[in-house]
Structure 1
Amino acid sequence: MSDAKYSSLASSDQVVWGRVLALHAYVERRLSQTLQRRHGIGLSEYRALEDLSRTVDGELRMQELADRIGLSQSSVSRLVGRLSAAGYALKDLCPADKRGVYAVITEDGRERFAEARATYAEVLSSALNTAGADPLLASTVQSLRTSA
């Protein structure tokens, strides 16, 4: 591949990626602000509760939860600490391996997630609609929605 062709592909990829990042930042900001204001939880807390609520037994190893929501293990440990202080989750030791620590959703956590889920869906849709009206982001939003 020629340098000129590679350079134009890289530039095109960078433009597209820049639009994805701009869309992501806009949507995440709207979700985060609204979840905090209406439900008293941040976006990471919401995602942790969502992942925990989707498991059969309501628990995940801390490392698995960290991987799912894109945080380091120390960050997810602090996050679960905040959820625990609010009564939405707790930490539990693995009975077979005392080094294994699990995050476990509580009944209050399930209720908080259920309350916040409708807000999340509403704000996500609204944010994508607003971004879809922006000429720079319209094609990115359309691509996301048609690939689903």
Structure 2
Amino acid sequence: MSAMDAVPTGLAQGWCALSLLHNRIEAHVERALQAGHDLSVREYSLLNVLSRQHSGDDGHLRMSQVADAVVLSQSATTRLVSRLEDRGLLARYLCPTDRRGIYTDVTEAGLALLAEARPTNEAAVREALDQAARDPELAPLVTAVKSLSTAPRPAPVPADHR
């Protein structure tokens, strides 16, 4: 038996199952968001992340933080921001206190599209999880994911304690 024929065990098998579950969910959500709202999963994620910003101290995210949140490189995130800006869903402007910084905000049109797409996203995630729950290898992961939605959220850490 060669290394290529070896069956993954332990952590490797768990990682493969997690990766499979992620890919199935993402593909299902992608199809639903594209069909219903002309949005990709990444575009939806970006709008969602940026919609949670606020104008107070530390209210705006740096591009590196946005890139981490949507799991893209900074250059890919910048291109994604540009595409959504071209569609009128995002707007960029100079930081009022640091002229080197550029903020990105969701426009009213972007907020409206996000609000319209949220139920589609939720339904698609739920459908994908329900389908995956029928697979014995994925069922424990589905249970874990579903338990996260009911778990209490930790309190935010004040900025001066980070």
The normalised TM-score by structure 1 is 0.87
Among the aligned pairs, what percent are the same residue? 38
For residue 135 of structure 1, what is the aligned residue in structure 2? 136
For residue 114 of structure 1, what is the aligned residue in structure 2? 115
Note the alpha carbon deviations across 1:54-110, whole angstroms, 9 max, x for none. 122485332221121111111111001111111100121222222212211100000
Note the alpha carbon deviations across 1:103-125, whole angstroms, 9 max, x for none. 11100000000000000000000
Name the aligned partner's letter for residue 50 of structure 1: N
Question: Alpha carbon RMSD of aligned pairs, Å?
Answer: 1.7
Note the alpha carbon deviations across 1:23-44, whole angstroms, 9 max, x for none. 0000001111111111011111
For residue 13 of structure 1, what is the aligned residue in structure 2? 11
Task: Report if aligned partners of 1:131, 1:138 keep a CA contact under 8 Å in 2.
Answer: yes
Give the number of equivalent residue pairs.
139
Deviation at residue 146 of structure 1 after TM alignment: 2.8
The structure that is helix-richer by fraction is 1
For residue 83 of structure 1, what is the aligned residue in structure 2? 84
Task: Report if aligned partners of 1:59, 1:105 keep a CA contact under 8 Å in 2.
Answer: no
1:48 equivalenced with 2:46 (yes/no): yes
For residue 67 of structure 2, what is the aligned residue in structure 1? 66
Structure 2: distance between partners of 1:60 and 1:85:
20
For residue 27 of structure 2, what is the aligned residue in structure 1? 29
User: Alignment partner of 1:60: what SS?
Assistant: coil
5+ residue gaps, structure 1: 1-9
5+ residue gaps, structure 2: 1-7, 152-162
